[in-house]
Chain A
Amino acid sequence: MSTTATAIDNKKGLWRGGVSPFKASYGKLMMWFFLLSDAFTFSTLLVTYAFIRWSAPAYKGEASDFVFSTEYWPIPEKVYEAFPGFHGVELPLVFVGLMTFILIMSSVTMVLAVEAGHRMDRKSVVKWMLWTIIGGIAFLGCQAWEWTHFINGTEAGTIGDVVKNGLWINNYEIHGANLTFNQYGPPAFAALFFFITGFHGFHVFSGVVINVIIFFNSATGMYERRGHYEMIEKVGLYWHFVDLVWVFVFTFFYLI
Chain B
Amino acid sequence: MEQVSNVVVQPADRKKIWGIWKVALILFIVTSIEYVFAFTMSKGMLLNVIFVTLTIVKATYIVSEFMHLGHEIKSLMYSIILPMLFIVWLIVSLVNIEGAAIKGARGTQDFTGSNGATEQVDEGH
A residues with CB within 8 A of B: 22-24, 29, 32, 36, 39-40, 43, 46-47, 50-51, 53-63, 65, 69, 71-72, 75, 77, 92-93, 97, 100-101, 104-105, 107-108, 110-112, 115-116, 118-122, 124, 161, 168, 221, 224, 233, 236-237, 240-241, 243-244, 247-248, 250-251, 255-256
Contact = CB atoms under 8 A, between A and B. Distances in A.
B17 A104 contact: no
A54 B103 contact: yes
Interface of B: 3, 5, 7-12, 16-17, 20-21, 23-24, 27-28, 31, 34-35, 38-39, 42-43, 47-48, 51-52, 54-55, 58-59, 62-63, 65-68, 72-73, 75-76, 79-80, 83-84, 87, 90-91, 94-96, 98-100, 102-103, 106, 108-114, 120, 122, 125
Contacts, number: 169
Contacts of B52: 251, 256
B113 A55 contact: no
A24 B76 contact: yes
Contact of B20 (A97, A111, A250): A111
A65 B27 CA distance: 33
A107 B63 CA distance: 11
B101 to A, nearest CB: 8
A50 B99 contact: yes
A60 B99 contact: no
Contacts of B34: 251, 255
A93 B35 contact: yes
A119 B11 contact: yes
Nearest to B77: A22
A108 B21 contact: yes
Interface on chain B toward A: helix, strand, loop, or mixed SS? Answer: helix
A50 B91 contact: yes
Contacts of B24: 104-105, 107-108
A14 to B, nearest CB: 10
A50 B98 CA distance: 10
Contact of B83 (A36, A46, A124): A36
Given A50-B95, A256-B51, A161 B125 contact: yes
B66 A60 contact: no
Given A71-B122, A115-B17, A57 B90 contact: no
Contacts of B125: 161, 168
A23 B63 CA distance: 18
Contact of A23 (B7, B66, B72, B102): B72
Given A47-B91, A50-B95, A120-B10, A59 B62 contact: no
A68 to B, nearest CB: 12
